């Protein structure tokens, strides 16, 4: 369904099952105005970034406790189980959230209510399916009993998280993300409390994997209560129109395939490492992901409001669309460069301090995974850009090529270099996907200069230089000082570049979209 067909469709007949909505409370054009409100998007982004900062800090603390208490093999089991559950996003997301965004920013509150209820129900079903697939995987391949039991319990995370994420998408359609931010932060705080209590009283694998389940239950409960009290068209219908699932899945199909392949190419290294090496190696490699996941978390928090702005600007405002892309690209590039510059020189010291000396051997892999996360940020932007412009069908082939490349490289490198080989394969794959993806964007989206190449190239050169210098300097200067210095240098270079990217108008072509 195109954006034009959504906007031009006439109002549907009244639905008595929709929660009571006062039509006077919804002004004409209110939904589209809210969706395209840059100031509201900035506030929503700020709320989600603050929440992600809290979640990252609390989650990091919990992972440090668990890694230090569990045996190397048990920590490997823990790491593998959650890597497998992360891979289940292939089945639980399917890109539907991005596909229905255009249907959530229309001005008909009844249409929004119907779309919301169908979307939430679909995501719940997908979560149940992902749980069954994850459990079947470890049972059929005859993983150790501890892994099977941990998967059976921890897998409930995706059952509760998938409808919770659907509610977040509904809030995101109006940039009302404060409640989601609070709910997810409180859930993470409860998870840490349970983790600490388990470490003191019952330091067992199954108790530790129970904590994230409780986290998701609390977050989902708060979001559900909040959405039920919302007015202005955000409350879902009390009746689920299952017929809507077909159009949602059809609209999302190209993006779903591409997204599934992207998740697979990012997570397949952990599964291959568990088969080609030991669970101890999986645990060491997983430490690197603890750092890269922090950057991924911030990227995804910022990407939601960005996607809403892009959907609202396409196709009538190509200049605004271009400006939002350039600003987002410069901001994401800066965030990635700062993370790499701060972490690279001090990776062994940071890992040793937080997780213990036995994990320091994975410092090189951790460095590469953080670098890979910075590349992933620009890949995510490209995916959202294609989806917003209605060109999502261009991406699956890119992702498929990346997945094949990653599997081949992992099969070649892991037997010789273990987790370092897996990290090299992952970064090489992400770099290749990034280049090919943006070539595809340039050739398919009729707008010039959506990616600030000058800004990103400058940041890359400066980041590489400070990482090299910091790695040498850390031998004589305390590592916290070195990390702060390298980050400040990158920030000093990035600030004027960010301002320039935001204000440079450049040229753009007029977008023509079929009305059929």
Average pLDDT for residues 471-486, to the nearest whole number? 93
Find the mean pLDDT for residues 418-435. Answer: 94
Say if residue 493's pLDDT is above 50: yes
Residue 477's pLDDT band (boundaries 50, 70, 90)?
very high
The band of 20, judged by pLDDT with boundaries at 50, 70 and 90, is: very low
CA distance 340 to 314: 33
pTM over 0.75, yes/no: no
Q: Is 145 exposed, middle or buried (0-12, 13-18, 19+ CB in 10 A)?
A: exposed
Tens of pLDDT along 257-310?
777 777 778 778 988 998 898 888 998 998 998 888 888 777 776 776 777 677
pLDDT tier, 25 (very low <50, low <70, confident <90, very high otherwise): very low
Dihedral over Cα of 329, 335, 341, 343: its sign: negative
Residue 426: its pLDDT value, please? 93
Q: Would you say how long the chain is, in residues?
A: 516
Q: What is the pLDDT at residue 85? A: 87
User: For residues 334 and 330, what is the distance between their CA atoms, to the nearest angstrom?
Assistant: 6
10 Å CB burial of residue 474 (0-12, 13-18, 19+) is buried
**Token pair for 25:** 């409370």
Residue 245, sorted as left (phi over 0), alpha (psi -120 to 50) or beta, turns out to be: alpha
| pLDDT higher than threshold 70 for residue 401 | yes
Task: List, in order, residues 6 or more apart from 198 with CB less than 8 Å away.
Answer: 204, 207, 208, 211
């Amino acid at each position: 369904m195109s954006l034009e067909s959504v906007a031009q469709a006439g109002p549907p007949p009244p639905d008595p099952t929709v929660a009571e909505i006062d039509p006077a409370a919804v002004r004409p054009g209110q939904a589209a105005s809210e969706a395209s409100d840059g100031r509201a998007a900035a506030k929503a982004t700020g709320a989600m970034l603050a929440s992600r900062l809290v979640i990252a800090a609390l989650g990091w603390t919990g992972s440090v406790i668990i890694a230090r208490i569990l045996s190397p093999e048990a920590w490997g089991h823990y790491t593998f189980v959650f890597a497998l559950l992360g891979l289940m996003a292939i089945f639980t997301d399917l890109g539907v959230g991005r596909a229905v965004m255009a249907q959530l920013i229309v001005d008909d509150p009844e249409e929004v209510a119907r779309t919301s209820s169908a979307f939430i129900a679909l995501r719940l079903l997908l979560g149940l399916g992902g749980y069954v697939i994850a459990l079947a995987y470890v049972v059929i391949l005859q993983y150790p009993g501890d892994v099977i039991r941990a998967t059976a319990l921890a897998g409930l995370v995706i059952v509760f998280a998938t409808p919770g994420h659907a509610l977040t998408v509904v809030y995101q359609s109006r940039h009302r993300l404060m409640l989601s931010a609070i709910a997810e932060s409180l859930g993470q705080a409860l998870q840490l409390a349970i983790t600490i209590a388990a470490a003191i009283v019952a330091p067992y694998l199954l108790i530790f994997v129970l904590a994230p389940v409780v986290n998701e239950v609390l977050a989902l409960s708060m979001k559900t209560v909040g959405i039920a009290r919302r007015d202005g068209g955000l409350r879902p219908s009390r009746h689920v129109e299952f017929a809507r699932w077909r159009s949602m899945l059809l609209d999302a199909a190209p993006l779903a395939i591409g997204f599934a392949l992207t998740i697979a190419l990012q997570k397949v290294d952990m599964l291959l490492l568990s088969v080609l090496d030991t669970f101890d190696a999986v645990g060491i490699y997983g430490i690197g992901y603890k750092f890269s996941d922090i950057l991924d978390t911030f990227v995804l928090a910022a990407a939601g409001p960005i996607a809403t702005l892009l959907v609202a600007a396409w196709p009538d405002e190509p200049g605004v669309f271009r400006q939002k892309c350039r600003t987002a690209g410069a901001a994401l590039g800066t965030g990635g460069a700062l993370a790499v510059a701060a972490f690279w020189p001090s990776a062994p010291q940071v890992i040793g301090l937080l997780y213990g000396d036995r994990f320091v051997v994975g410092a090189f892999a951790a460095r590469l995974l953080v670098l890979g996360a910075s590349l992933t940020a620009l890949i995510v932007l490209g995916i959202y850009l294609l989806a917003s412009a209605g060109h999502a069908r261009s991406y699956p082939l890119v992702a498929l090529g990346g997945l094949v490349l990653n599997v081949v490289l992992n099969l070649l490198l892991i037997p010789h270099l273990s987790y370092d080989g897996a990290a090299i394969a992952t970064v090489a794959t992400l770099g290749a996907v990034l280049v090919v993806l943006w070539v595809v964007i340039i050739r398919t989206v009729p707008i010039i200069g959506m990616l600030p190449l000058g800004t990103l190239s400058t940041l890359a050169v400066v980041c590489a230089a400070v990482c090299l210098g910091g790695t040498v300097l850390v031998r004589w200067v305390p590592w916290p000082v070195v990390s702060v210095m390298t980050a400040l240098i990158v920030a000093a270079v990035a600030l004027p570049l960010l301002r320039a990217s935001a204000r440079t108008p450049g040229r753009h072509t007029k977008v023509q979209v079929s009305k059929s």
